[in-house]
Chain A
Amino acid sequence: METRATRFGLWTWTVLVLLFLYAPIGIIVLYAFNSSNIQSWPIAGFSTTWFSSTWHNEEVREALVLSLKAALVATSIALVLGSAGAFAVSRFRFFGRETISFVFVLPLALPGIITGMALNSYFGFWGWQLSIWTIIVGHATFCVVIVYNNVIARLRRTSPSLVEASMDLGADGWQTFRFVTFPVISTALVSGALLAFALSFDEVIVTTFTAGAQNTLPLWIFGKIRLGQQLPQVNVVVAVIIALTIIPVYFAQRLSRESGILRRR
């Protein structure tokens, strides 16, 4: 239907958009290997000196450890809460069932400043000191919906009769869960967990309100960029963070074709 010229035009457009999407990511990776500490283009030369100096930077290490800890605990909490919610909503009818997914998506749909500010003043209200635990509470809250969406999409595609068959054959609730339900949802859980991890590991806005004196890795980057300090090391950390967020998402995508944030139904 489309004329040749149209086809060619659309193809060119697609290639240009892909370039637009990936050029900045490529450039940031190149900057990480910059041998000079001056941030100008073209980079002076290739070297990995900044990688080793970054690795030996205590601040970066502490921030990395904090980010990993927070992301792991937040992901675990999100796994439990998200899959429990998904089971309840997909297998039972109850009053207000439709509003559940709306409530779960709120922390992602509302501007981050609102979620962050709300949690911040709420913690203050109870007199809770800001710590790794307040970071985790914030992250877990917006990660629940990711796990929830993945698990519920999987449950919708599997028939409840599997569970009934297992019970008919004499399995108890635990055995049914262990040998029927869990294998069915396991890849959805893994992909949900990977996405939740990536989301938590990268989060800045809510974290600025829920972290006390400690820095997560994104907070460290944000602070250094703002002050214009240690930029060569920032380049390295940023390149590593891109890898650490893209890789889990790539695998999550392969595990379940419905894992995109937009495929939430």
Chain B
Amino acid sequence: MSGFGGVLPWARRTLVERDKILTSEEFSAILGVCQIVPGPNIMNLAVCIGSRFGGARGALAATLGLSLGPIAIVLCLAFLYEHYSYLESVKGLLRGISAVGVGLIASTGFKMMRDEFRYPAMFLVVVLTMIAATVFHLGLGYVVLLVAPIAIFLARKKAQSL
């Protein structure tokens, strides 16, 4: 519920630093697995951590706990939007927030990029993915099919060299 700007940093702080349910390495490993699989990363994380402590029921409890509160809040906001979206100030407000929001998404990408400096050849994968997606507008399936072999090849080299 207090996960403004994404839940991930908050999840890490609570689970690793405060409650010490997981060690930092375990958290990173689980997160790594969750990012391989498609779908909302944070939901995947909830499934992984929930199922670790309570099997399928734990997974269900974790995902529901994570999403029900925020859904209620966002629906209240949607209700307000319905009534006040004609106001010039509300339009401006949303324009400002969405401009920041898209910047926040881009900066997630840039922050994740820091790890690639340890093995700069991986930047090739990043650049190829971007070219395939934005210049040639290939569908996601084709992007993955095209880039995955190179990504796996380079990732293997990276894993061996570090």
- Chain B binds chain A: no
Task: Please give the residue numbers on chain A whose beta carbons come within 8 Å of chain B beta carbons, in ascending order.
Answer: none
Task: Please give the residue numbers on chain B whose beta carbons come within 8 Å of chain A beta carbons, in ascending order.
Answer: none
